Amino acid sequence: MNAVARILEWPTDEVEENPLAPWSSALWDSATLARVMKGEASGAFTVSGVEIDSRDVQGGDLFFALKGETMDGHRFVEGAFAKGAAAVVVDRPVDGPHILVTDTTEALELLGAASRERARGPIIGVTGSVGKTGVKEAIFAALDRASRGDAHRSVKSYNNHVGVPLSLARMPARARFGIFEMGMNHAGEIAALTRQVRPNLAVITTIAPAHIEMLGSMEAIADAKAEIFEGLEAGGTAVIPADSPYFNRLKEAALASGAQVVSFGKARDADVRLLDAVPAIGGGSLVTIDMGDRRVCYTVASPGEHHVINSLAVMAAVRGVKGDLGAAGVALAEMGGLPGRGARLQIDVPGGEPDVDGRRPALLIDESYNANPASMRATLEQLGRTPAHRRIAVLGAMKELGSHGPDYHAGLAGPIRDAGVDYAVLVGQEMEPLAEVLAQALEEGRISGELGKSAGDPLGKAVPFAHCLTVGEAVDALRRFGLERDDVILVKGSNSVGLASLVNALDKQEG
C-alpha cells in the first residue's frame, strides 16, 4: 500500500494588495480604527497588536479598557501606556493616543467584525466537548507551515464572547487562513460567536457530557455545539464525528444550514476513515486513513486513541480549505501535548535507585486544564497503556455536571481499575462518591484477606487512595506516598480545581 503524504511546493500566487493593511508590522491605523468602531481618534497612529489585559501589553499594542461587573479597564490605562501601548480604546478622554467610543466592549466586537470582513482566506471555526483546543492548534500548525507563517489563530482558550472578537481583531490582513475556537456553557452562546467568525469550515470534535448542568441533556449539548453551523458562509463545510451517537442530529443541523458534510472516524461510511493505528517508535501512533480518493499515512506524536481520532478531524479540515496534507502530517508528528492538555514532563523524584546520571526521573502527564467524563476515561485508558513502575492518578473534580455529577464521578472507579492505577489522589468535594466506591472495594478486599478468601471485589483490584479537599492536601498526599523513579503520574481535573499548581510543584521539586 502506497500511503505516503508528501509536502507540496510552497504557494507561488502573487501577493494581493490590501489597502487596509499593507504588508508591514502595522495591524491597524487610527483612521481605520475610528471608522470601524464608530469612534473618534485623538490623532494619527498605528498599532501592531490588540490587548485587553494591561499586564500583557507589549510595545505597539492597542489596549481596550473593557468594563466588567467588578472591574473597569480604565483604571489600567496609565499602566498600559507605561508598558508601551501605542494607543487605548476608552469611553472617556484620556491623556495619550486613544480612540474615544461609546462602549468599549461593543467597539471590540466591531473591530473583530471589520477584521473578518477584510480577511482574504478561508476561516475555520472549531468547537466540541473535548479536544477543541488541540485540534485548533494542530490545524493552525499545518496551515501555518504550508503558508510560511501566514496563518492566524485564537491563542490559549480565547473562545468566549470577549476572546473571539479579540482573536479576530488580532488577525493580520495578510493572513491566508484563520482558525478560531468557540466554547460555551449555555445554549445560544456559540450561535452568537459563529456569527462573528463566519467560518467557511466548521469542526465539531465530539459530543460529551461537559456543561450538562446548564444544558440538561446530551441532546441539548449536541444542539448547542451544532449552533456553529448557523454562521457558516454560503457553500461552507461541516466536519463532524461519524462515531458519535449524535451524528445524525449534527448532520441534520449542518444540512439545514446549507453545509457540505464531511464525517470523520472509525465508522465504515466515514468520509475520512481510520484504517489503522499502531504504536509508533518513540511514542505516539502511526496512523493510516482513507480519504476517499487516497490513503494517507502519518504519525501522531501524542499517544492515545482520542488524539488519533482528533487527527482525522485535522486532516478533514486541512483538506476542506485546500491545505497541504503533507504539512498537516508533519505538524501532527511534531506536535506534542499542550500545557494542561497532555504535556508530558520528565520530573525528578526522591524515591528509587538513581540512574547512571544520578537522577530519578518520572513521567508527569499534565491534563490539569479540563476534565469531563469522556476525557477522563480516555486519559485513564492511555495511562493504562503507558509503561510504568507504578501508575499514580491525581484526579480533580469534574465541574458543571449538576445532578449527574455523583454518578459520573463514581463511574470513574472502573476506568481507574482498568488502567492499573497503583495509587489515586482525589481532589475536591465532588469526588466523594468515587472515594466511597474505592473505600468499599478496599474494605471488601481487607475482609476477604482476613477470611483467607479471594477478594470478591466486583471492581477487581482495590486501589489505595487519598481524598483531599484542596490542592495543598493533594501535594502532601503525594509526598507521603513517595514518588519513585519510573513512576507515571497523571494529573487531570477541571481548571477551577487548580491542579496546575500541583503540576508546577512537582515539576520544580528536586529528586
Q: Grid coordinates standing for 241?
A: 464525528
Q: Say which residues have a Cβ less than 8 Å from residue 341's Cβ, sequence separation at least 6.
A: 133, 134, 366, 367, 369, 370
First to last CA, the chain: 48
pLDDT at 389: 96
pLDDT at 24: 57
Q: Mean pLDDT per segment of 10 residues, for the chain of length 511 residues? A: 38 40 74 98 97 96 94 96 98 97 98 97 96 95 95 91 97 97 94 98 95 90 97 97 98 98 98 95 91 96 93 98 96 89 92 89 94 93 94 96 94 96 97 96 74 50 93 96 96 96 88 58
CA dihedral of residues 126, 235, 17, 180 (deg, nearest 10): -10
DSSP 310: H
> In the sheet that 343-348 helps form, which strands lie side by side, from edge to edge?
343-348, 361-367, 488-492, 391-396, 423-427, 465-468
Q: What is the model's pLDDT at position 451?
A: 59
State pTM to two decimals.
0.85
H-only helix segments in 71-130: 77-82, 104-118
Closest CA to 188 of 156, 169, 160, 158: 160
Contacts of residue 372, Cβ cutoff 8 Å, sequence gap at least 6 = 129, 130, 208, 209, 210, 398, 401
pLDDT on residue 40: 98
Q: Name the burial class of residue 505, with classes exposed (0-12), middle (13-18) and buried (19+) by CB atoms within 10 angstroms of its CB.
A: middle
